[in-house]
A and B are shown apart, each in its own frame.
Chain A
Amino acid sequence: MRGLWLAALARDLLQVAFSGTALVPDLTLLVLVWLSVFRCDEAEPIFINAFLAGILWDLRWTAVPGMTSAAYSLTVAATAWLWSNLPPGRRANPALFFCWATVAHLMTSFFPAIFTSRALGFSSSLATQQGMAVACVLGLTALYIRHRRTHHE
C-alpha cells in the first residue's frame, strides 16, 4: 500500500504546483486500479486504504468529505469484481487493462457532478486532465505488460 500513499502525496504536490493552471490526473485512482487488478482476491485492505486516501483528498481539495472516497470504493469494487471474473487468458490482455483504467479515470472525474447541483461539464481543464491521465495509463500499461511477462516467465 506504500505505492498508493506515495501516489496520493504526488498528486497533492502536483495539484499545489499546478494550482490555478491545470487539473492533475488522479494518480491515486490509477494505483488503486493496479492494486485491484493484482490483488483482486484480497481487496479488503485496498477498500480501507482507498477510503482513507479519498477522505484526505476531499478534506484537502474538494470540501465534500466522502465524495472521492465513494468513487474510489466503487472503482476498487468494480475492478476487483471484473478481474476476478475474467478468464485467466483475458487478464493478460494489456488493451483491456488500458481501456478499463482510462474509463475508470474518466468516470471518477465526472463523479463530483452527482454530489453538486451544478454539472461540471467537459471543460478544457478537464480535457487536459484526461489527456494527461491517458499518458499515465499508457505508462502504467507498459508496467502491466512487463509485470505480466516477468510473472509468466
Chain B
Amino acid sequence: MGRTGTRRWIVFLGTLSFSLILAAVSPGSLPAEKAMDLVANVMTLPEWPARMLRNLVVRTVDLAAGERALRERIDRLERENLVLRGLLQVSTDYGTRTGTNEGHVTLRPPTSWWSEVRIDRGAREGIRPGMAVVQDGALVGLVSRVESGSSWVELVTSSSQYIPVVVEETRDLGVLNGDGNGLVWLMYIPVEKEMKAGMSVSTALVSELLPPGIPIGRIAGAGEEIGGYRLYRITLNADLSRLYKVKVMTGGRS
C-alpha cells in the first residue's frame, strides 16, 4: 500500500470514527441542540424561497378545495371555545388576545421521539414557554424552550412532562405523565374512585398560560395500584405519529 493509500485510509477512518463518536455522545446534549438551532437560523434565509413555495402551494390547494373558509371558521370557533371554557371553569383572565398561531414541525429527534419536537414559531411570533400546543384541538404538549424563530415542544408522552388534568365526567383531578415510549398515564386517582373506559380527560387549571378544558384524550383502561392510587392508561386524541402541523395557544399571562 502506497503513501497515498495509507493517507486515504487514515482520512476515512478519522472521519468515520469522529462521526460515530458524535452520533453516540451528541444527541440530546445542549451544545448539539444549540448547534441545531444555529444551523436552522442560518438556513432560514436560503430556505425562504422553498418555504414560500410550499406555503403558496398549500394555500392554493386549500383554496381550490374550499378549505380556507372552513379553517378560518374552525380557528374562530376554537378561540371562542377557549374563552368560554375559561369563563365556565375559572375566573383567571387569559387576556383578550387569546388566539392560536399555526406552525410546522421542523425537527423530531429520533432519539427522543416521544419527548420533544421543534416547530418553526418562536419568540418573534409571541411564543413563550408553557404555552399549550394542540393538533386539531387536542393537546400534544407544552412549549419548553423558545428561540427567536423556533421553539421546542415537550410532548405529553415525555416522561418528564406532568400536566394537571381533570376527568370531565366526574371532575376528579389527577396528573398526566408520559412514559417516554408513547404511552400516557393518569396518576393520583384514589382507588375508591373508579374511572370507566371512555371518560374524557382535559387540562385543569395549572397556570395562566395553559387554559383549562383543552381536550387531551380518553381513559383506555385501569393500570396498577400504587399507594392507594390507581393508574389509568390514556388514549390521546392527537395523532402523534402524524405530527406535521400544530397550533400554539398564544395569549394569557405568564
Partner of A47, one of B12, B38, B43, B111: B12
Q: Name the A residues within 8 Å of B18 (CB-CB).
A: 51, 66, 69
Interface residues of B in 6-45 (CB under 8 A from A): 7-8, 11-12, 15-16, 18-24, 26-27, 32, 35-36, 38-40, 43
Tell me whether B51 is interfacial, beta carbon within 8 Å. yes
* Given A13-B50, A115-B110, A116-B111, A67:B12 Cβ within 8 A: no
Tell me whether B198 is interfacial, beta carbon within 8 Å. no
Tell me whether A95 is interfacial, beta carbon within 8 Å. no
Q: Of A72-80, A96-104, A126-134, A140-148, which stretch is located at the interface? A: A72-80
B50 touches A66 (CB 8 A): no
Contact with B along A6-34 (1 / 0, CB 8 A): 00010011101111100000000000000
Q: Name the B residues within 8 Å of A112 (CB-CB).
A: 110
Tell me whether B47 is interfacial, beta carbon within 8 Å. yes
Tell me the bound Cα distance from A9 to B46 in angstroms: 9
Q: Name the A residues within 8 Å of B110 (CB-CB).
A: 62-64, 112, 115-116, 118
Tell me whether B54 is interfacial, beta carbon within 8 Å. yes
A73 touches B16 (CB 8 A): yes
A66 touches B39 (CB 8 A): no
Partner of B12, one of A12, A18, A60, A77: A77
A63 touches B111 (CB 8 A): yes
Tell me whether B228 is interfacial, beta carbon within 8 Å. no
Closest Cβ neighbor of A41 among chain B residues: B4
A59 touches B35 (CB 8 A): yes
Contact with B along A112-123 (1 / 0, CB 8 A): 100110100000
Tell me whether B49 is interfacial, beta carbon within 8 Å. yes
Interface residues in A, total, Cβ within 8 A: 40
Q: Name the B residues within 8 Å of A74 (CB-CB).
A: 16
- Please tell me the size bucket of the interface on B: 35 or more
A43 touches B8 (CB 8 A): yes
Closest Cβ neighbor of A70 among chain B residues: B19
A20 touches B107 (CB 8 A): no
Tell me the bound Cα distance from A116 to B8 in angstroms: 29
* Given A66-B18, A66-B22, A16:B51 Cβ within 8 A: yes
Q: Name the B residues within 8 Å of A16 (CB-CB).
A: 47, 50-51, 54
Tell me whether A61 is interfacial, beta carbon within 8 Å. yes
Tell me whether A55 is interfacial, beta carbon within 8 Å. yes
Tell me the minimal C-beta distance from B71 to chain A in angstroms: 16
Tell me the minimal C-beta distance from B103 to chain A in angstroms: 12
* Given A41-B4, A116-B110, A118-B110, A48:B53 Cβ within 8 A: no
B26 touches A73 (CB 8 A): no
Tell me the minimal C-beta distance from A65 to chain B in angstroms: 5
Among all A-B residue pairs, the 3 with the closest Cβ atoms: A66-B22, A66-B23, A63-B109
Given contacts A63-B27, A63-B36, 9 further A-B contacts (CB under 8 A): A16-B50, A17-B51, A47-B8, A60-B36, A66-B23, A67-B19, A70-B19, A73-B19, A115-B110
27 residue pairs bridging A and B, Cβ less than 8 Å apart: A17-B53, A19-B54, A19-B104, A19-B244, A20-B105, A41-B4, A43-B8, A43-B11, A43-B12, A47-B8, A59-B32, A60-B39, A60-B43, A61-B107, A63-B32, A63-B110, A64-B110, A66-B22, A66-B23, A66-B26, A70-B19, A70-B23, A115-B23, A115-B110, A116-B110, A116-B113, A118-B113
